[in-house]
Amino acid sequence: MTHPTSSRALMWAGFIGIFIWGSIAGLLGALLPSLRERAGISLSDSGWMFVALSSGLVASSLIAGYLLDRLGKKVVLCTAIALVIVALVLFEFLTSLPAMIALAFMLGAGGSAVVTGGHALISDLNPDHRAASLNLLDVFFGVGAFVTPFAIVPMQQRGGTAAVLFTLAALAGVGLLFLLMVRFPRSAGSRAVSLTDALAVARSPLFLLPALLVFLYVGTEQSVWDWQVTHFMRRLSMDNVSAARVLSIFPIAIMIGRLINNRLLMRISPFPVLMASTAGATVCFVVAMIATTAPVAAGALLAAGLLMASIFPTALGIVSGRFPQASGTAMGLAIACGWLGSMAISPAFGFVAQNSDFGRGYFVIVAASAAMALTAAGLLRQGRRMAVTRPPAVAAGRQRLGDERAR
């Protein structure tokens, strides 16, 4: 039985989906030691699980975005959450390396489709305030990200890996039931987007700049997660626990920043917000790189989180606003760029650190942040020249297709 369509219920459907992704985003890393020990596989072999997870993230966002416009958001979101549930449950019963690699790919694919569908849903529900609404949406990722390490993973001490996996599967199951009960309206562009339109989106300058910003943002943020603790330990002679506590300031600042930007972007254009955020974040990362005391480093990371908060959801809001008749496709392509950024920039940090000096590796974060500022400046100029309320690239693509058929 479904309930009548309700904007509030649909908003909560998006919030719940992103919460589910947040709760599983770091799960594989948290449980990998137990999974590896139980399966009797080596450290190097288990690394293939992360390759599979990343591959699932990229592949799914490309496919899910297109399917959102062809099949509708409810089908994609419900299928994605079901994939997550199946992967979580089967992790308890399948212990061979090939099976766990396949499950890691499934977990990444399901999670990425949830991210793409949730962002497309919330953006389309708020066409006049896309960037503001997506900043609010991504607060729920942070809430979910805190659930696993602080509440659920400790269950492993009492009930083992199964307790964690089944609890997260149950949470996702509750979310799935809620989505099944909500009736989703068919979007105006449903079943109207073709592969030609998708290619037109991907080639459009109106897409490429915000997509580049997403690529740089996700890569920069991932680099902070991967390397900041080690940087503090080496430069400031901090122990692992103390360095991790300083790093915990970063996600808290991001959540606070997104709540602030939710209100701010209701009143002003997203382009100057992105310009100020990226430029300010670059300065903060420079300070974090050269800081010689923990309080200064913590302050820089706090400010960086507050400023970084707006970049990802605001860039996605710009993408969906420019292609409203193909918002799912555009969102999926942009999010795929983000996953690729995490696979490129963080390893680049490691490469520089390994082949030069670890301190110099931090220049990768600073350089990526500076590149974000340059991209935001390009977006600011682009936004002043061009309207963003209609999808020129999609329209042009359809016109070209119509001309070819006429000939």
Q: pLDDT 10s per residue in the chain (407 long)?
A: 444 457 889 999 999 999 999 988 878 777 777 777 777 877 677 778 888 989 999 999 989 998 998 889 999 999 999 999 999 999 989 888 899 999 999 999 999 999 999 999 999 999 999 999 999 999 999 888 877 777 776 777 777 888 889 999 999 999 999 999 998 876 544 456 677 888 889 999 999 999 999 999 999 999 998 888 888 888 888 888 788 888 888 989 999 999 999 999 999 999 999 999 999 999 999 999 999 999 999 999 999 999 999 999 999 999 999 998 888 899 999 999 999 999 999 999 988 988 877 788 899 999 999 999 999 999 999 988 764 444 444 444 444 334 433 33
Same domain, 171 and 215: no
Q: What is the CA radius of gyration of the chain?
A: 21
User: DSSP characters for 271-299?
Assistant: HHHHHHHHHHHHHHHHHHHH--SHHHHHH
Same domain membership, residue 331 and residue 293? yes
Q: Find, among 265, 215, 262, 208, the residue nearest to 382 by Cα.
A: 208
Q: What is the largest CA-CA distance in the chain?
A: 70
pLDDT given for residue 10 in this prediction: 93
By three-state DSSP, how is residue 187 classified?
coil
Domain co-membership, 340 together with 391: yes
Q: Classify residue 2: in a domain, yes or no.
A: no
Residue where a domain stops, chosen among 156, 191, 226: 191
Look up the CATH number of the domain holding residue 103.
1.20.1250.20
What is the reported pLDDT for 5?
A: 58
Question: Does a structural domain hold residue 405?
Answer: no
Does 402 map to a domain? no
Residues 345 and 309 in one domain: yes
Q: Which of 174, 191, 208 is the last residue of a domain?
A: 191
Q: Report how far apart, in Å, the C-alpha atoms of 245 and of each of 24, 232, 297 are.
A: 21, 11, 12
Count CB-CB contacts under 10 A for residue 267: 8
Residue in 358, 238, 368 with CA at minimum distance from that of residue 297: 238
**Residue 266 sits in the same domain as residue 285:** yes
Query: Based on the domain organization, do 274 and 384 belong to the same domain?
Result: yes
Q: Both 235 and 341 in a single domain?
A: yes
Residue 66 and residue 211 in one domain: no
- Shared domain check, 237 and 155: no
What is residue 152's DSSP assignment?
Answer: I
| pLDDT at residue 390, as a whole number | 45
Do 237 and 182 belong to one domain? no
In a domain, 406, yes or no: no
pTM, whole model, 2 decimals? 0.85
Same structural domain, 227 and 170 = no
Domain coverage including residue 19? 7-191
Answer with the one of 191, 213, 245 that is the final residue of a domain: 191
For residues 122 and 235, state if they share a domain. no
Q: Cα 8 from chain centroid?
A: 23
Q: Are 249 and 257 in contact (CB under 8 A)?
A: no
Angstrom CA distances, 127 to 83, 264, 325, stand at: 29, 16, 11
> Number of folded domains in the chain?
2
Asked if the structure places residue 48 within a domain, the reply is: yes
Q: Is 301 inside any structural domain?
A: yes
Is there a domain that residue 277 lies in? yes
Tell me, yes or no, whether 90 lies in a domain: yes
